[in-house]
Structure 1
């Protein structure tokens, strides 16, 4: 079964964020933010005070309009949501400036940034506000969408429209894929050029700490020089995640053994560098990769043309295999959360991937004709091969810890081959790896510890639900 978020970690995260939202909405803070944003754009007078315009997954945003028509946006890294606010902010500023200087991808201009906004509101980025009519998700999603819904691709969208919208994303991805680096990590501006000197900060790392209670000191702390080293680190993180998440990690003894075995298989394969293609010529050439590049962050004008790509947090130089994997967001919803089940997601995705790749080929042809891309830099064939071979699932599972168990049968097919069903592949888990006697003992001890943790949580929940309520004196006697 799929691993769930740790409810206690989630509640603690929400409590911190709710306190921040309350402070961010207070009159004193709004006044200080208004003065701060006005000071940073002294060439014109503000029309009104700063207004709260958005509460995103990781940021809290204010907007201010000025007499000359300019508008600015102040983004604060939200405590309780952004678990590495300073590191996240610094990395995002660097990558936005790099993209502005090295591609034609439209990104907002940065006016100012720093580690302490007024009233001790923490790290911030002040940038131009880009007006838009819509975003790409709104164009792609199923009609009748309500704010509390998860978006899903409109099943009735016509192919020419889908190809047009997909094509703009394909062009963005092509431009990012042309940027190559010699290490895996986050960008920084060096004296003469852009350098990779800090660890890769990923969305999964943020969620592991926020929603899994993952110890920060167990996360990677440096850059990586090879794909195999990085994939081993990701496999290790998935094992540590299962080990350290105290609540909602397992449902039964059998479930725990299955999850443990999956992670040990990946660790052993990663240890032998068998999760990557060592014969790939560019296996030490790393590409700029954004964990949060998805249609919601693609702003469009009234003609459905891209006017800005926003939210570049969790962008890092990554193994080229990540860039060569087709994007999961073609259906807007992730495979692990698809309402009709993962098999239906795969079938639906496969039909949409053909349209996306057709759009990408068209944009590749234009870029090659204009001299902006070479034949060797095409992504379409690599993405097709990644999906067909199953490499897509290996990369996806390593990058998304909570999805690993539900997508395992597809990883199993990639690694072990065969025509078994999903259920049969789960049943075969024990035979996929040869444990020594000591390793069997290690697994038994691990499983018993996780079961004790689950029992303790269940007992605490029972005690809480049966504790006498205020005024119920009869239970106190």
Structure 2
């Protein structure tokens, strides 16, 4: 059975409700007109068409067309992005860095700002040039006829030469990201026109989701200006976050006492491996570190009619990371994530290994390098891949945790039983502790005000009818 961390349903509901209601505003002319005027005020010319370009997982983008060009403004969604100001600042810095240091086709930034600087104070924003494109890499790789509402899967009958051509372009992007060397793990900050430094925490997609959907308090994350000078210290922090998430999320995250023990043992052992520096290459323990983008995937790669890359967008959650991240083959070779593969992790691995050969061939066409190791949902990959590699094989991965108990010290075993008892006691009774940003909270307060006003108006109508 495949296991992964589940989101808290109540946190998910609140996050989705906030995002959906915020996005609904963009159907109103009173919202759209000031945004268009705002773009015109920063980019002179006569606009010919203004419309919503698209809604992503974390943003909404609107496009203003001119006769020979177009400008996009992208606004962060409350409820989806719980670190909006930080996310935008990081993305602006990395996009400008990539434009300066690589040939990756990244949109040119015209203007950016905070929520206070934005039209109607809607959210932090980035205003950039629009890149023309015919389709996306996702569509080129996806199974033909796959309904839009379904998750995509790599076309099983795709022509091998065409696949290699598409993979080779993606490999070139990865190699360009690998070229810059950075002295610390963290997010970039632009010091001046030609200088960038790693000065802030590596804000990752996982951190955002742990707070947004996992019930983790923002205070449990590294401080804003925390960076890491070794790979093992960063991996140890990640292991601690996995532990914090399991302990603090409400009890739909565990099914029983043994399920809780199994998950805790995995996290203790993963942390031990990180502390013992067994998860990293000693040659790169202190760097140099390489750029890593959590959200780099085919859906963010734009193609022209000849299926050549014209642009790569959505650089949020990009930071300097351990070199091992870049040495791993990208999970998106099959489009779908392993934890969401309908036939399970083993089948995903089988198909992935087959397509990996094509990707390696394409990669070697760009540079003669070898990549290895994978990235998957924590519990599934720990017990099926990491644990047997370091501690030996077992007949049943589901029960392997029992055989590993002796690897925990007395303090860890005692702490585990306390946590298990706590989780069982709180089973289905723990109150949701959701810790969104001020920007999301403010919009939720607006929603409550609107709901209260609507209720009062409905009550007044009912009273008038009774009279």
C-alpha change, 1:318 and 1:281, in structure 2 (3 Å) is closer
Distance 1:61 1:281 in 2: 39
Q: Is the Cα contact below 8 Å between 2:250 and 2:428 reproduced in 1?
A: no
Under a length normalisation based on structure 2, what TM-score does the superposition of the two structures give? 0.87
- Aligned counterpart, 1:260: 264
- Aligned counterpart, 1:103: 102
- Secondary structure (helix, strand or coil) at the match of 1:108 reads coil
Shift of 1:269: 1.9
- Secondary structure (helix, strand or coil) at the match of 1:288 reads strand
- Within 5 A, what are the aligned runs for 1:374-393? 378=368, 380-381=369-370, 383=371, 386-387=372-373, 392=374
1:94-150 Cα distance to aligned partner (Å, 9 max, x none): 000010011111011111000031111010000111111000010001111112100
Matched, 1:25 2:27: yes
Shift of 1:407: 1.9
Shift of 1:248: 2.0
1:235-287 Cα distance to aligned partner (Å, 9 max, x none): 11111110111142111221111011100111122222222122x25742100
Q: Is the Cα contact below 8 Å between 1:283 and 1:320 reproduced in 2?
A: no
- Aligned counterpart, 1:400: none
* Structure 1 residue corresponding to 2:389, chosen from 386, 393, 414: 414
Q: Is the Cα contact below 8 Å between 2:187 and 2:201 reproduced in 1?
A: yes
Q: Is the Cα contact below 8 Å between 2:251 and 2:423 reproduced in 1?
A: no
* Structure 2 residue corresponding to 1:430, chosen from 378, 381, 402: 402
Q: Is the Cα contact below 8 Å between 1:286 and 1:320 reproduced in 2?
A: yes
- Within 5 A, what are the aligned runs for 1:43-58? 44-48=45-49, 50-58=50-58
Matched, 1:217 2:219: yes
Q: Is the Cα contact below 8 Å between 2:284 and 2:323 reproduced in 1?
A: no
- Within 5 A, what are the aligned runs for 1:115-264? 115-116=114-115, 117-191=118-192, 193-221=195-223, 222-264=226-268
Structure 2 residues without counterparts, runs of 5 or longer: 432-467
Root-mean-square deviation over aligned CA pairs: 1.6
- Secondary structure (helix, strand or coil) at the match of 2:113 reads strand
C-alpha change, 1:323 and 1:438, in structure 2 (3 Å) is closer
C-alpha change, 1:282 and 1:5, in structure 2 (3 Å) is closer
Distance 1:283 1:431 in 2: 34
- Secondary structure (helix, strand or coil) at the match of 2:124 reads strand
When structure 1 is superposed on structure 2, of 449-458 and 339-348 the one drifting more is: 449-458
1:286-334 Cα distance to aligned partner (Å, 9 max, x none): 0011111111110000000000000000000000010111101100011
Distance 2:179 2:389 in 1: 28
Distance 1:336 1:226 in 2: 29
Determine which structure has greater relative contact order: mean sequence separation of CA pairs < 8 Å that are 6+ residues apart, divided by chain length: 2
Q: Is the Cα contact below 8 Å between 1:277 and 1:283 reproduced in 2?
A: no
* Structure 2 residue corresponding to 1:6, chosen from 2, 5, 8: 8
Q: Is the Cα contact below 8 Å between 2:231 and 2:285 reproduced in 1?
A: no
C-alpha change, 1:247 and 1:65, in structure 2 (3 Å) is farther
- Aligned counterpart, 1:75: 74
Matched, 1:439 2:440: no
Q: How many residues align?
A: 422
Shift of 1:428: 2.0
- Secondary structure (helix, strand or coil) at the match of 1:432 reads helix
Q: Is the Cα contact below 8 Å between 2:61 and 2:73 reproduced in 1?
A: yes
Structure 1 residues without counterparts, runs of 5 or longer: 365-377, 398-402, 459-477
Shift of 1:433: 4.0
Q: Is the Cα contact below 8 Å between 1:8 and 1:247 reproduced in 2?
A: no
Shift of 1:72: 0.7
Distance 2:108 2:90 in 1: 15
1:138-179 Cα distance to aligned partner (Å, 9 max, x none): 000111111210010000112111100000000010111011
- Aligned counterpart, 2:88: 89
Q: Is the Cα contact below 8 Å between 1:83 and 1:206 reproduced in 2?
A: yes
1:327-373 Cα distance to aligned partner (Å, 9 max, x none): 01100011111001100000100010010000010111xxxxxxxxx
- Aligned counterpart, 2:437: none
- Secondary structure (helix, strand or coil) at the match of 1:261 reads helix
Under a length normalisation based on structure 1, what TM-score does the superposition of the two structures give? 0.86
- Secondary structure (helix, strand or coil) at the match of 1:175 reads helix
- Aligned counterpart, 2:37: 35
- Aligned counterpart, 1:405: 379
C-alpha change, 1:436 and 1:107, in structure 2 (3 Å) is closer
Shift of 1:406: 1.8
C-alpha change, 1:444 and 1:282, in structure 2 (3 Å) is closer
Q: Is the Cα contact below 8 Å between 1:7 and 1:247 reproduced in 2?
A: no
- Aligned counterpart, 2:440: none
Q: Is the Cα contact below 8 Å between 2:252 and 2:428 reproduced in 1?
A: no
- Aligned counterpart, 1:341: 344
- Secondary structure (helix, strand or coil) at the match of 2:105 reads coil
